[in-house]
Structure 1
């Protein structure tokens, strides 16, 4: 029997549209000199100064308690800021992970000391996080983690390797998913999360991984008897799986799951202004319909977060459909305009097409592979 899975009506907030115009005016000013190609790299655009400016505006940690540097605003107001910054191609990488998932995880599971020490810095745009989940040879099978934290006097000794760790070379902290008891055969049991200070902890080696586009965003992070104090434990020992699944719900549901390629759609519409055809009109109409639908679903997840619900299955649906949309876009663009991708081109469309084409394969990998997501969806629908 399948479950009747519905997306709730997106939240409404009387001040949200006024906020939207405020954010747009701000972005139009601070991004005025940002090229189309740099806007296409919004997700990976690392700019601490930009993040600080968002923090000064009160646009980070928006839903958090004021005692931790937050602003106690609604999830939908936060969604408006996310949506507008991504659509404008703003450089969000230095605050993105911390504001989206690491901060909320600490708010939900962290100790009072962790919250007081970390959350105000995130809300100010000063503190950068990375995610220590994936490992060599395990793909998206997080339960196969082999990185181990062994209890020692005063804390933990950590040994193991994390892979595809975005931004580790620039981050201040990592939330590490690891095994604190048992073996990989125990699967989810015996896993925990630890807070890692990447700037002061010894025994950590960060090695770059260069992607298809020749950029350095990914890293291999190796722990060799790295000591973490007992206060590094997030939540309860052995509860890591439940905690990391909650964290992934934040990671999979936002507008970044269908706006990573937005600049290509903008350039495509511009390039077709003088070359319109029935095929182009049909393609753009279909893309627009898909985009509007994805936005509706993603805003529905924002309503669930506002209500304190667990949107795990809903988030997986948004992530899977969003990745499909983004990966289809370069091929659709090439079918409409006879141009070969070239990052060095003086044509904004051609340069952005090259960038998105090279990055598109990763869209169905980050945050969980398509196969893993569809398994989660099937389970949520009662099909497995």
Structure 2
């Protein structure tokens, strides 16, 4: 396991300033910040970002992208998340599906999907988690059976963000039986049309009635051979590589940033020495996690596959987010009167609602610690 020390270059800092100027001009004064990548699904805003070259940044120009670095994409994502921008439409395709297609997809798949992803015209969801599987992705029960010209897929996926609005998702499924009890063998990824025959999308609403996650039932869904992502039987290798993009980014430690910023803005001089000490400790943790995350982006640019390092960033980052939400909740209740209808209280209520999922999605804390421990022992 290795995290290299790194800083941003003047050109990278200039990009940060450019993004901030864009957000100041585009986000309305009464903008309600979103918390993390599960933000409002706003295709128009996503297309404005795409027009500036800030979607599909790491995708090569020959596929409609911009050939920029993982670090440059890190900077843009960091600013969008800190501002609570409405990035829910394009974020998963940009963060995860695009790089996966670039590394494992066929030439036809790249030319079919990557230009649309880069233009914020094609949106993807994830098709990994299943009922009763938790973070043990190798235990998926969704099965694909070979038929003439393709595969028929039957199974159920859950926690499928924005499946009711997006176009496709990459489904992890079993294409051959386990060998000698080895669950990781015989898994593949298939690209499935979320509006295709046999696909049923049902909402999984939050307790407040809001809707982001879905259950997606697949009943004898036909997927042609040209929609197999990567090699048949290589699904486990592909998704573990893919998780390096999912687990290490700013969305794993910046979801709660708008809440903290609003707390400090409203509390002002009311923050006593005790609260200031707590905030200082969180600031130190925040900066350390940011440096680890940035180091992973540099490693990706160097052609490495830092899956273990990404797992550690995600484990530390999501625990940090949960700890911050709890600290702000206590501070608001015990010492600082923010007003029940204030922006801070509304953001805090949303954070309290969402924070239990931070250490679940993308891998539970226990799974990630196991990955990190194996990496330290190797």
**Using the alignment, how far apart are the partners of 2:264 and 2:72 within structure 1?**
28
2:22 aligned with 1:22, yes or no? no
Q: Which residue of 1 aligns with 2:364?
A: 369
**CA 1:374–1:41: 2 relative to 1, 3 Å:** closer
The runs of 5 or more residues in structure 2 that have no matched partner are: none
Deviation, 1:74, is 1.8
Tell whether the 8 Å contact from 2:36 to 2:81 is kept in structure 1 after alignment. no
Select 1:232's aligned residue among 221, 227, 233: 227
Deviation, 1:166, is 1.1
Query: What CA deviation, in whole Å up to 9, does each residue of 1:317-351 have, x standing for no partner?
Result: 1101111111011221133232699x994211111
SS at match of 2:358: helix
Q: Which residue of 2 aligns with 1:324?
A: 319
Tell whether the 8 Å contact from 2:167 to 2:194 is kept in structure 1 after alignment. yes
Tell whether the 8 Å contact from 2:188 to 2:233 is kept in structure 1 after alignment. yes
Moved more, 372-381 or 179-188: 179-188
**CA 1:99–1:283: 2 relative to 1, 3 Å:** same
2:58 aligned with 1:58, yes or no? no
Deviation, 1:32, is 2.3
**Using the alignment, how far apart are the partners of 1:167 and 1:13 within structure 2?**
35
Deviation, 1:211, is 1.9
Query: What CA deviation, in whole Å up to 9, does each residue of 1:120-154 have, x standing for no partner?
Result: 00001111100110111111111111111100001
Tell whether the 8 Å contact from 2:205 to 2:212 is kept in structure 1 after alignment. yes
Q: Which residue of 2 aligns with 1:249?
A: 244
Tell whether the 8 Å contact from 1:11 to 1:303 is kept in structure 2 after alignment. no
**CA 1:292–1:182: 2 relative to 1, 3 Å:** same
Q: Which residue of 2 aligns with 1:289?
A: 284
2:138 aligned with 1:146, yes or no? no
Q: Runs (4+) of structure 1 moved beyond 6 Å?
A: none
The runs of 5 or more residues in structure 1 that have no matched partner are: none
**Using the alignment, how far apart are the partners of 2:256 and 2:8 within structure 1?**
26
Tell whether the 8 Å contact from 1:13 to 1:77 is kept in structure 2 after alignment. no
Q: Which residue of 2 aligns with 1:266?
A: 261
**Using the alignment, how far apart are the partners of 2:36 and 2:9 within structure 1?**
30
Deviation, 1:250, is 0.5
Q: Which residue of 2 aligns with 1:49?
A: 44
Deviation, 1:45, is 1.6
**CA 1:107–1:330: 2 relative to 1, 3 Å:** same
**Using the alignment, how far apart are the partners of 1:209 and 1:254 within structure 2?**
25
- Structural mapping, 1:201-212, within 5 Å: 201-212=196-207
SS at match of 2:90: helix
**CA 1:236–1:310: 2 relative to 1, 3 Å:** same
User: What is the count of residue pairs matched by the alignment?
Assistant: 377
Q: What TM-score comes out, normalization by structure 2 length?
A: 0.95
SS at match of 2:344: helix
SS at match of 2:97: helix
SS at match of 1:364: coil
Tell whether the 8 Å contact from 2:296 to 2:306 is kept in structure 1 after alignment. yes
**Using the alignment, how far apart are the partners of 1:35 and 1:230 within structure 2?**
44
Tell whether the 8 Å contact from 2:40 to 2:88 is kept in structure 1 after alignment. yes
Select 1:193's aligned residue among 189, 196, 216: 189
**CA 1:162–1:40: 2 relative to 1, 3 Å:** closer
2:155 aligned with 1:160, yes or no? yes
**Using the alignment, how far apart are the partners of 2:325 and 2:295 within structure 1?**
27
Deviation, 1:269, is 1.0
**CA 1:340–1:166: 2 relative to 1, 3 Å:** farther
**Using the alignment, how far apart are the partners of 2:207 and 2:331 within structure 1?**
24
Deviation, 1:34, is 4.3
Deviation, 1:271, is 2.9
Deviation, 1:183, is 4.1
**Using the alignment, how far apart are the partners of 2:37 and 2:264 within structure 1?**
19
Q: Which residue of 1 aligns with 2:110?
A: 115
